[in-house]
Structure 1
Amino acid sequence: MHLSNLKLWNFRKFGSSGRIEPSKPNLNVPFQKGVNILIGENDSGKTAIIDAIKLVLKTHSAEWIRVDLDDFYEDVDELRIECLFEDLNEDEAKNFTEWLSWSGSGENAKPLLQLILRISRKGNRVLPFEVKAGPDTEGYPLTAEAREFLKATYLRPLRDANSELIPKRNSRLSQILAGHDAFKGRDNDHSFVDLIKRLNHEIGEYFNGKDPNGITLSDLKGKELKDSIDKLLGLFSNRKSKLSMSGSKLQSILEALCLLFDDCKNLGLGSHNLLFIAAELLHLQNSNHVLRLGLVEEIEAHLHPQVQMQVIETLQKEASSVQLIFTTHSPNIGSKIPLQNLIICQSGQAYPMGPSKTKLEETDYKFLQRFLDVTKANLFFSRGVILVEGWAEELLIPALAKKININLTEKGVSVINIGNTAFLRYAKVFQRQDEPEMKIPVAVITDVDVVPFEKIPTKEIEGPGGVKTNVPLSQLEINDLISQNTLSKESKYNGQVVKSYISPFWTLEYCISLSVKLRKIFFKSVLEALKDQKIDEGVVRLTAYDNAIQSLETHFNNWADSKEVIAYKIYDQILTGANDLGVAKDAISKSIIAQRFAENLESENADNLKTEASILYLLNAIEYAAGSN
């Protein structure tokens, strides 16, 4: 059996001010067998989902779980939680016979178990409540015995794994061991009990000054110690002492055990956490459990990023017989788990990424599994996303944002460099098959990819005698081609929260070169990037490059061409190295240019950028993703 669905009404942030309608939950989260990852920014509702499950099921660690006033949405007087379990086999279903409902009919009928928890409050007092189950909206109370079969395993966030593994009364380790077949039901006949009895006999003999065979020891300091205690006890109560290992029952023996790595001491938090996870997974796989459900908050706690990925890989392979629901803040884990196993929590909703929920095709899942690395996985934690084609855009966009007083980091906006033009695959992550739609604004920044008139684009025509020739396009024809490409990309990418922002001319770099307020800063960055390339290549004589940078002001003052021709020459310098500045004619790395431009833009005056038509699409994209328009 596995938890297939969770519904919440008026629980914490998931609620509404009206009366509870059982057919209209405030949150409806489907889960699948195996691994489920709740992922999202802080306060997105991940912990609330875990806590709701815990309230209904309780946990094997027997921790105290209470309901307080903060669990109620705003000022409502009632909350409701439902958990639906499917795929019960006969051995599991027999424990819940009187509470089962059914899906299908005849030979195809399958048992379901729906748990219902309704909690009310009166003023500042939470009223007594009980978990019910049944096919209707009210259900019937579950017995204590039935509830024992439904406990989940839970690992709290920032867990102190060390304290759970060290010897102490009722330690978590002793609970795990006691529930295993190696110890369960063997309180009196386990070999451990005999071992402790023999050990206690030897300890007692030592303090009597004898070895296990009753022969007097040469070293009688142990006997002297006990005699001193007995002398004092005789004065107090006329009784004698006995020294032994604490407890001779199996439970006491297990409480005296600790779990360590066999090759080191003084373990850190990360190592203790690995031991704790391994022990809990052993407990979860125990055949004695009817429900094998593990709830783990912040699975990455205290773990190095590489170890995080190894743990996730292992859990996916070794925990195939159990169901795991994790929360995480780790992009490492977000990138390692198949996309269809993720549930994105955002804006009071949970969005499963399974094939029936998103617009993604089967091939999209395979593509994203290959290319959704740690950097791109940041998009799952964002309040806004800007998708760009390459490194240059990724470096440029944050610098431009600051010039219009938008700090993308403060706004929680991630600029994701997808490294190609496969925007549609990433965009469809945020497009849903059904309501509710996602609320994360996603801006796609891409080039129109139509070369300008200065490059003299051509078209092929057929002349007299069928001879084909290339003739230049007119400016009007170029404009029509730009319009067609723009409409094509908008219809391809736009939908729900996804909006495309397409360059009005050629490429991003060309549009910046068209900006009167930015072109000089940009061209300076181009020349500085060329010099950086030469330094990287080991060139020693850099005078010509320094002179070109220093004479930039004069060069611009004497540049009498139109702004379109100037923009074309700046961009041609990037693509081919063509220039009349006396420097090497080499193509220049766009990413180095972008890095230089971002640095220069921060120190240069460039105000009122929204008056620059050629870059307005970039600024609009930034504002949309940041929620500023």
Structure 2
Amino acid sequence: MHISRLRIENYRCFDDAVIEFRRGVNVIIGENNSGKSSLMSAIQLIFEGGGAQSLRRYDFYQGIEPSTDPPQISITATLSSGEGEDEPAELGTVATWLSGIEDGDWEAKLTYHFYLPDDQTDEFTKLIDEDPPTRASFWRAVEQVLPRYISRIDAGSPGEKEPGYQRVEPRDLNGFGVDFLDPIRDVEREMFSGRKPKLRTMLETVLDDDPGAKKALEEDAEALVDQLKDRIDLAKLFELAESTGAEDGGTPSIGSRMREADIIKALRLVIEAETGGTLPVTYNGLGYNNLLYISLILASLESQTVENVGPKKAVVFPLLLIEEPEAHLHPALQFKLLDFIQNQITREKGSKQVFATTHSTHITAATGLDAVVSLSEDKEGHITPSYPGRVYSAMTGGDGEESKAYVERFLDATKSTMLFAKGVILVEGISEQILLPTFADTLLDTSLADEHVAVVAVGGRTFKHFLPLFGALLDDKEFGLPRRVACVLDADPKKKSGENSYKKCYPYQVKSDEDRQQSRVVETLNAYASGSPNIKIFPGEMTLEYDLAKANSGSDLLVTPFCTHANQLEALASDGSLGEKLQSKIAGMEEDLSEITDEDERRAARFATAYLECIDGKGGHAQKLNLKMEGDETEFTVPDYIEDAINWVCSPIT
């Protein structure tokens, strides 16, 4: 059994959204205010019985159109059968809630309603004193009648408007166990304090049930208490009571009975220090205590089964909701935490489901694409879900399995930024990744950081594997992430050199129809992007370095220690003089260069050719060039295709 679908209507930032989930672990990502926390609250409203939370005006979707009808909140959870056989206890829990059965698979539905009863709606209408109702009068009326709103949970297929099918009482939901870890959590208090702290509960769970040992322990404890009593002079404490006659009601003493449960209450968690001795666990760092607490929670999921606590107290479907599991954790521990949770949920018997909201790329790297649900605001302002793990099976072309396998291997914590960003620029290598943010910030007065645009290096021939994530080759665009994606890549022209062979060349060496102005990669990406308005391809003329030099042929700013013959390059930039060593570098291209009729074009192409031939180590060169540009106010021209890509990806989807 698992929650396969959640429909949320008129709740917080959701007007009417349907979000689908898979068995096991689900990781919810999205920008701030994209509905992640509201989704978690919606799950709690249903499975914690609904009545525990009193909703307020601002829990209603604020975009509701004003009318004389009072607004309602509705949240429907669809429970679906698991793979293989469901446990009898699971089937027993949902047997009367079924909304459909087909080929042995079943669905059950629970719906939380928050509404104004029918006999109160006339009062709401009277309170709206404007015709037609304005937003101000509508919400003023809502606030006035809000104390009369009621909540209930029903089972089965929802009715058209009003609730009224099978009522579910809070006790009917006892089979669902909800553990919720909010983002600002005091794990020390949760572990050790309160009426039923988690540590004591779990110690009782893992304690061996041995009546003989229990009896012996309590007898030993009673003997210890008797020894302590012998050392206590109670008469000194109760002199006043004796002198005033208060002892007529009985002589005060100290009870000597100590049960096993009392001893467990006295136990404290300590840390054995590597240097020797022990420390209270409260001296631990927040991150490690966070892990200790989550470990207790995970253990409790397994401990509440029928085998452990019996059918009356058993939790047949444990739910773990974690907001920002990365809180206080080192990045490596973030990865290990979610990797452990995913493996444990998969390995253990019985139905369990975990929902985690996160802003951590380390978390998504640990769980993989299939677990990710991305919440985004569309161009109409509605919150919509996307499912990056599903795109590859929905592709209409290409090899979906190959592409998915490649992306899963690729999406480490650094590359996973593309799942979280508002816009993405995919580039070929480290040079573009280093330089494009500086071009945007220093030269184009646009901050990619402020625009939440990620620049991700994916390699020249692998762009195609990533584009389906954003809707390429998909008939159903719902699965793809609604982000603007710009692919900035080299044109890599080639000149025909034989019957079926080509070799790399400079743009000015492309002269016949059989030569290629752009590589086949550009053609492939254009085919992928066709029909996907949020994906656009921006090829250069040759390579980034050549294109930079051609656009700035008179600038010695481009010359770095990673350029051989640096002095001659600077001279070529300043006065056009071609030194002997540079002449030898470009000797094979001079004949083609001389055929360029425009003098300025020829000079720019010659400098760009010499410049590209002299670069020794593109990554180091880009880093040095980036530092020079950040501290230099000399006029510099960004190649048109890069400027166009940056401006386009930073504009909203229309």
Category of TM-score, reference length = shorter chain = 0.7 to 0.9
Consecutive unaligned residues of structure 1, counting only runs of 5 or more, are 16-25, 209-221, 452-456, 463-471, 532-543, 578-586
Tell me if 1:345 matches 2:378. no
One-letter amino acid of the counterpart of residue 623, structure 1: N
Which aligned pairs between 1:161-310 and structure 2 lie closer than 5 A? 161-177=187-203, 180=205, 182=207, 195-196=217-218, 198-208=220-230, 222-224=231-233, 226-235=234-243, 237-238=246-247, 240-243=251-254, 254-263=264-273, 264-265=278-279, 266-286=283-303, 287=305, 288-310=314-336
How has the CA–CA distance of structure 1 residues 556 and 69 changed in structure 2, closer, same or farther, with 3 Å as cutoff?
farther
How has the CA–CA distance of structure 1 residues 412 and 35 changed in structure 2, closer, same or farther, with 3 Å as cutoff?
same
Tell me if 1:83 matches 2:77. yes
How far did 1:375 drift?
Answer: 1.0
| Equivalent in the alignment of 2:476 | 434
Which aligned pairs between 1:499-578 and structure 2 lie closer than 5 A? 499-515=535-551, 518-521=552-555, 523-530=556-563, 554-556=574-576, 562-577=599-614
Q: Counterparts of 1:282 and 1:275 in 2: how far apart (Å)?
A: 11
One-letter amino acid of the counterpart of residue 38, structure 1: I
| Equivalent in the alignment of 2:360 | 330
How has the CA–CA distance of structure 1 residues 252 and 116 changed in structure 2, closer, same or farther, with 3 Å as cutoff?
farther
Q: Counterparts of 1:375 and 1:349 in 2: how far apart (Å)?
A: 25
Q: Deviations over 1:129-175 (max 9, x none)?
A: 11111134343111333111123222111311111112543223334
| Equivalent in the alignment of 2:649 | 625
The answer to whether the 8 A contact 2:571-2:578 is kept is no
Q: Counterparts of 1:553 and 1:520 in 2: how far apart (Å)?
A: 4
Q: Counterparts of 1:508 and 1:552 in 2: how far apart (Å)?
A: 19
How has the CA–CA distance of structure 1 residues 435 and 388 changed in structure 2, closer, same or farther, with 3 Å as cutoff?
closer
| Equivalent in the alignment of 1:355 | 390
Tell me if 1:616 matches 2:625. no
How far did 1:227 drift?
Answer: 3.1
Tell me if 1:596 matches 2:624. yes
SS in 1 for 2:561: helix
Which aligned pairs between 1:482-497 and structure 2 lie closer than 5 A? 482=518, 486-496=522-532
How has the CA–CA distance of structure 1 residues 412 and 330 changed in structure 2, closer, same or farther, with 3 Å as cutoff?
same
Q: Return the TM-score normalized by structure 2.
A: 0.76
SS in 1 for 2:559: helix
How far did 1:603 drift?
Answer: 4.0
SS in 2 for 1:408: coil
| Equivalent in the alignment of 2:186 | 160
Q: How many residue pairs end up in the alignment?
A: 552
SS in 1 for 2:295: helix
Q: Counterparts of 1:84 and 1:377 in 2: how far apart (Å)?
A: 30
One-letter amino acid of the counterpart of residue 83, structure 1: A
SS in 2 for 1:491: helix
One-letter amino acid of the counterpart of residue 376, structure 2: Q
Residue in structure 2 matching 1:70, options 54, 58, 77: 58
One-letter amino acid of the counterpart of residue 300, structure 2: H
The answer to whether the 8 A contact 2:181-2:323 is kept is yes
How has the CA–CA distance of structure 1 residues 135 and 78 changed in structure 2, closer, same or farther, with 3 Å as cutoff?
closer
Residue in structure 2 matching 1:119, options 107, 114, 117: 114
Q: Deviations over 1:372-417 (max 9, x none)?
A: 1111111122111110010011112112112111100011111011
One-letter amino acid of the counterpart of residue 513, structure 1: A
Residue in structure 2 matching 1:364, options 392, 396, 403: 403
How has the CA–CA distance of structure 1 residues 481 and 205 changed in structure 2, closer, same or farther, with 3 Å as cutoff?
closer
How has the CA–CA distance of structure 1 residues 592 and 608 changed in structure 2, closer, same or farther, with 3 Å as cutoff?
closer
Residue in structure 1 matching 2:43, options 53, 56, 59: 53
How has the CA–CA distance of structure 1 residues 268 and 196 changed in structure 2, closer, same or farther, with 3 Å as cutoff?
farther
553-562 vs 397-406, which deviates more?
553-562
| Equivalent in the alignment of 1:466 | none
Compute the RMSD of aligned alpha carbons. 3.5
Q: Counterparts of 2:570 and 2:606 in 1: how far apart (Å)?
A: 19
Q: Counterparts of 2:440 and 2:519 in 1: how far apart (Å)?
A: 27
Q: Return the TM-score normalized by structure 1.
A: 0.78
Q: Counterparts of 1:251 and 1:67 in 2: how far apart (Å)?
A: 39
490-499 vs 547-556, which deviates more?
547-556
The answer to whether the 8 A contact 2:336-2:366 is kept is no
Q: Deviations over 1:495-549 (max 9, x none)?
A: 425423333412222222221xx3344x533343337xxxxxxxxxxxx85x558
87-96 vs 302-311, which deviates more?
87-96
Q: Counterparts of 2:35 and 2:337 in 1: how far apart (Å)?
A: 24
SS in 1 for 2:151: coil
How has the CA–CA distance of structure 1 residues 493 and 423 changed in structure 2, closer, same or farther, with 3 Å as cutoff?
farther
| Equivalent in the alignment of 2:425 | 386
How far did 1:605 drift?
Answer: 4.4
Q: Deviations over 1:446-491 (max 9, x none)?
A: 122115xxxxx454479xxxxxxxxx96646488744987555312
Percentage identity across paired residues of the two chains: 23
Q: Counterparts of 2:156 and 2:546 in 1: how far apart (Å)?
A: 66
Q: Deviations over 1:9-30 (max 9, x none)?
A: 1111111xxxxxxxxxx22111
Consecutive unaligned residues of structure 2, counting only runs of 5 or more, are 65-70, 117-123, 125-141, 306-313, 378-382, 501-507, 580-593
How far did 1:181 drift?
Answer: 7.3
How has the CA–CA distance of structure 1 residues 563 and 333 changed in structure 2, closer, same or farther, with 3 Å as cutoff?
farther
How far did 1:240 drift?
Answer: 4.4
SS in 2 for 1:234: helix
